[in-house]
């Protein structure tokens, strides 16, 4: 069965610094997709970045980049130049046919 | 262009009651998925609707049912509410079948259900 593991319940980072949020996954499918979502206290899941298993390059979206290491089955999210507004829960997810399987999330707190 | 919308925002019910939650997908999207997010956990897939039919279902009891209308909007119904049904219910919409929506599964703001 497919599984997503996020081992960091909480992370702290100072404003303007970079931070890496860890995600490992388990799947036997050769084709899969990996996602990161941000969930502020308001509750809405905000799509950040996507990485396909066959993509040759790591995905980037503005200040977000995905460090995809296929052999290690890891898909870590890197946020550069952290901002106070980045404080939120962050979820890693994997596509399983037509649904998403989520990890337990990491709470990121950015301090001045 | 409106994104995914859900109603109501908050809801309080008592055990044994029934509840209906509503979702309107993003314009151009025809597939709606429902997720339950208990406090401190990641979202769990409930089911998905496409072409007005339930296409895939997660590990949830039959008390959870749904419907999709011709305009692609959807309802989630929960009967015989239990305390454990208290959660944030998220609706996600996407355009069509798997593989076509990898960058386009968007979530609504959710409905926070409290069962007393």
Average pLDDT over residues B80-85: 98
Average pLDDT, rounded, for chain B: 92
Residue B85 DSSP one-character state: G
Q: How confident is the model at residue B98 (pLDDT cuts 50, 70, 90)?
A: low
CA distance A102 to B2: 25
The residue behind tokens 């052999």 is: A71
Q: For chain A, say whether B96 makes contact (Cβ under 8 Å).
A: no
What proportion of chain B, given as a percentage, has pLDDT over 70?
A: 92
Report pLDDT for B105: 79
- The Cα–Cα gap between A20 and A41 comes to 21
Q: Which of A1, A10, A29, A45 to mutate to test the interface with B (most CBs of B within 10 A)?
A: A45
Quote the strand ranges of chain B, DSSP E.
5-7, 10-13, 19-24, 31-37, 44-50, 53-57, 64-68, 74-78, 87-94, 106-107, 111-115
Neighbours of B55 (CB within 10 A): 16
Between CA A71 and CA B49 the distance in angstroms is 35
What is the rounded average pLDDT of the residues B47-69? 94
CA atoms of A51 and B90, how far apart (whole Å): 23
Contact by Cβ (8 Å): B33, B47: yes
How far apart are alpha carbons B116 and B24 in whole angstroms? 27
Query: Inter-chain contact B42–A91, Cβ cutoff 8 Å?
Result: yes
What integer pLDDT is reported at residue B103 of this predicted model?
61
Whether B36 has a pLDDT exceeding 90, the answer reads yes
Give percent of chain B above pLDDT 90. 80
Taking CA atoms, A60 is separated from A1, A68, B49, B98, in Å, by 28, 11, 31, 22
pLDDT for residue B11 is more than 70: yes
Does the pLDDT value for residue B100 go beyond 60?
no
pLDDT confidence of B2, banded at 50, 70, 90? confident
B110 vs A4, A44, A91: nearest CB: A44
CB contact under 8 A, B105 and A100: yes
Omega cis (within 30) before B8: yes
Q: Confirm or reject contact between B97 and chain A (CB < 8 A).
A: yes
**Is residue B58 within 8 Å of residue B46, measured between CB atoms?**
yes
At A75 the pLDDT is 97
pLDDT tens figures, A46-95? 999 999 999 889 999 999 999 999 999 999 999 999 999 999 999 999 98
Q: What span, in angstroms and rounded, lies between the C-alpha atoms of A5 and A21? A: 11
Tell me the pLDDT tens digit for each residue of A24-51.
Answer: 999 998 888 999 999 999 888 999 999 9
Residue from B42, B59, B99 to probe the interface with A (highest A Cβ count within 10 Å)? B42
């Amino acid at each position: 069965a497919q599984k997503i593991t996020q081992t960091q319940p909480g992370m702290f980072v100072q404003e303007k610094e970079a931070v890496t949020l860890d995600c490992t996954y388990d799947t036997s499918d050769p084709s899969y997709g990996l996602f990161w979502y941000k969930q502020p206290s308001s509750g809405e899941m905000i799509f950040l970045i996507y990485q396909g298993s066959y993509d040759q390059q790591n995905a980037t979206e503005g200040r977000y980049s995905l460090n995809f290491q296929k052999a290690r089955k890891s898909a870590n999210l890197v946020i550069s130049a952290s901002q106070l507004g980045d404080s939120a829960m962050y979820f890693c997810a994997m596509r399983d046919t037509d649904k998403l399987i989520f990890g337990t999330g990491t709470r990121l707190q950015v301090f001045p | 262009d409106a994104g995914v919308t859900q109603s109501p925002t908050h809801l309080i019910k008592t055990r044994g009651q029934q509840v209906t939650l509503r979702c309107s997908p993003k314009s151009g999207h025809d597939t709606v998925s429902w997720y339950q997010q208990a406090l401190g956990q990641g979202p769990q897939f409930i089911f998905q609707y496409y072409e007005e039919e339930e296409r895939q279902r997660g590990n949830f009891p039959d008390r959870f049912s749904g419907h999709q209308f011709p305009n692609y909007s959807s309802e989630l119904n929960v009967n015989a509410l239990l305390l454990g049904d208290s959660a944030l219910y998220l609706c996600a919409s996407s355009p069509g079948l798997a593989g076509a929506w990898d960058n386009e599964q968007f979530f609504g703001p959710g409905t926070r259900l409290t069962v007393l």
